[in-house]
Amino acid sequence: MSASIEITNVTKHYGALSVLDDISLSIKAGEFVVFLGPSGCGKSTLLRMIAGLEDVTAGTISVADRRVDTLPPGKRGVAMVFQSYALYPHMTVAQNMSFGLENIGLPKPEIERRVSQAAATLEIAHLLDRKPAKLSGGQRQRVAIGRAIVKEPKAFLFDEPLSNLDAALRGRTRLELAQLHARLGSTMIFVTHDQVEAMTLADRIVIMHNRKIEQIGTPMEIYRRPASRFVAGFVGSPAMNFVPLTSVTSNGGTINIGTSGLGDIHAAFHLPSGFSPDGASLGIRAEDVTVLPAGQTGIALKAEVVERLGDRTLIYGHLSDGTKLTAETDGRSEARGGDTLQIALDTTAIHLFDAAGTAHHSEGD
């Protein structure tokens, strides 16, 4: 069972503090949506307003075409998955999962049916008699999800559920969540500040910043066509490189960009009319910067730190004018800190950002 969720012109104030400003968002039934943004941007507040744990200051929220923002949490048909440390330590796994259902007076056989079905889905049936202290971190997280599943909600709400797990377990649990979503087909909203979790889990990512939604899109739309300089710098690791412009001239479908660090760059690009180089920057990802073989001349990059990741090597350096730039090259690179390397840009992969931070992309990108 899954439901659409409609957020319409929602605003949130805490006293004089304005946290969210006129947020509107339509989530489709069965969709996996991730709220992504830096700490403090209002992700948890928005999720908690959907759950009914916070009031909306203005606006409406509907679940399955029914207005819910005036209903108590238990009547909204959504279930929040809390972090695993919120399990009751003195109760067994089965008791932890059935507790909420006993509270609402569900008959015992129905509770047992739901708990055993959820335990089977999560592959924790053999753990039902254990107390949380005797479980691994990953098992505890699955019990926390089980507590939500037994409520048979129309939508699951997750607030950074993986942040307390170690790196290997985080990766595994992320995969299990994706499988669970495929199996249940439920609507899921997942809050995180981790762009890797967002990229790997989401059907669509909602990027939040400065009390607003900055962009909504599929992971690859957001990666390839970020709407703003903020999004471009926030999604992708290493972060996109930004180089200030000194001039730009447009001639039909091509442009000449002047920069002090990269020199002049010629690219196929439809520049919007009135685009000013003042305060504008060129953006390019490290993977679109090539380190040229020895003997070839391109743009000089002085390497400061070389990070070897096995399959690839990241070169953190600076251009002749001091602008920082990161290049990605293959894992067998012999570059070392202090070397001056020669690089080239893939000019089909450049982005331009105006002074207000609005993005413009190459044709076909």
Ligand X SMILES: Nc1ncnc2c1ncn2[C@@H]1O[C@H](COP(=O)(O)OP(=O)(O)O)[C@@H](O)[C@H]1O
**# residues near Mg ion by CB under 5 A:** 1
Closer Cβ to ligand X, 25 or 284, answer by number: 25
Of Mg ion, ligand X, none, which one sits near residue 88, judging by CB under 5 to 8 A according to partner kind? none
The encoded tokens of residue 325 equal: 């730039």
Closer Cβ to ligand X, 42 or 52, answer by number: 42
Closer Cβ to Mg ion, 36 or 350, answer by number: 36
Of Mg ion, ligand X, none, which one sits near residue 17, judging by CB under 5 to 8 A according to partner kind? ligand X
Helix axes 108-122, 93-103, angle to 10 degrees: 140
Contact, 95 vs 134, CB < 8 A? no
196 C-beta neighbours (distance < 10 Å), count? 13
Closer Cβ to Mg ion, 44 or 117, answer by number: 44
Closer Cβ to ligand X, 16 or 167, answer by number: 16
Distance CA 207, CA 331 (A): 32
The dihedral over CA atoms of 99, 103, 108, 109, expressed in degrees to the nearest 10, equals: -80
Smallest gap from Cβ 67 to ligand X, in A, equals 22
DSSP string, 25-42: EEE-TT-EEEEE--TTSS
Write the binding mask 100 to 129 for Mg ion: x where contact by CB under 5 A, - elsewhere: ------------------------------
Of Mg ion, ligand X, none, which one sits near residue 41, judging by CB under 5 to 8 A according to partner kind? ligand X
Out of 4, 8, 44, 121, the only residue in the binding site for Mg ion (CB under 5 A) is 44
Of 177, 365, 199, the closest CA to residue 285 belongs to 365
Smallest gap from Cβ 354 to Mg ion, in A, equals 31
Region binding Mg ion by CB under 5 A among candidate stretches 36-44, 172-180, 200-208, 252-260 = 36-44
Closer Cβ to Mg ion, 10 or 284, answer by number: 10
Region binding Mg ion by CB under 5 A among candidate stretches 41-49, 125-133, 260-268, 341-349 = 41-49
Smallest gap from Cβ 44 to ligand X, in A, equals 3
Closer Cβ to ligand X, 69 or 288, answer by number: 69
Smallest gap from Cβ 192 to Mg ion, in A, equals 9
Residue 219 Cα distances to 32, 226, 301, 309, angstroms: 12, 10, 30, 23
Q: Does residue 60 bind Mg ion (CB under 5 A)?
A: no
* Residue ranges that bind ligand X, judged by CB under 6 A: 14, 17, 19, 37, 39-45
Distance CA 215, CA 250 (A): 28
Smallest gap from Cβ 142 to Mg ion, in A, equals 22
Residue 73 Cα distances to 11, 24, 186, 320, 364, angstroms: 19, 21, 18, 58, 46
Smallest gap from Cβ 84 to Mg ion, in A, equals 16
Closer Cβ to ligand X, 17 or 356, answer by number: 17
Distance CA 2, CA 211 (A): 28
Closer Cβ to ligand X, 39 or 273, answer by number: 39
Of ligand X, Mg ion, none, which one sits near residue 207, judging by CB under 5 to 8 A according to partner kind? none
DSSP string, 230-293: HHHHHSSSSPPEEEE-SEEEEETTEEEEE-SSS-EEEEE--PPTT---TT-EEEE-GGGEEEPP
Of 139, 133, 154, the closest CA to residue 4 belongs to 154
Smallest gap from Cβ 37 to ligand X, in A, equals 6
Residues present in the chain in total: 365
Of ligand X, Mg ion, none, which one sits near residue 40, judging by CB under 5 to 8 A according to partner kind? ligand X
Smallest gap from Cβ 17 to ligand X, in A, equals 6
Smallest gap from Cβ 54 to ligand X, in A, equals 8
Q: Which residue has the tokens 């399955």?
A: 64
Sign (positive or negative) of CA dihedral 294, 298, 302, 305: negative
- Positions touching Mg ion (CB under 5 A) are 44
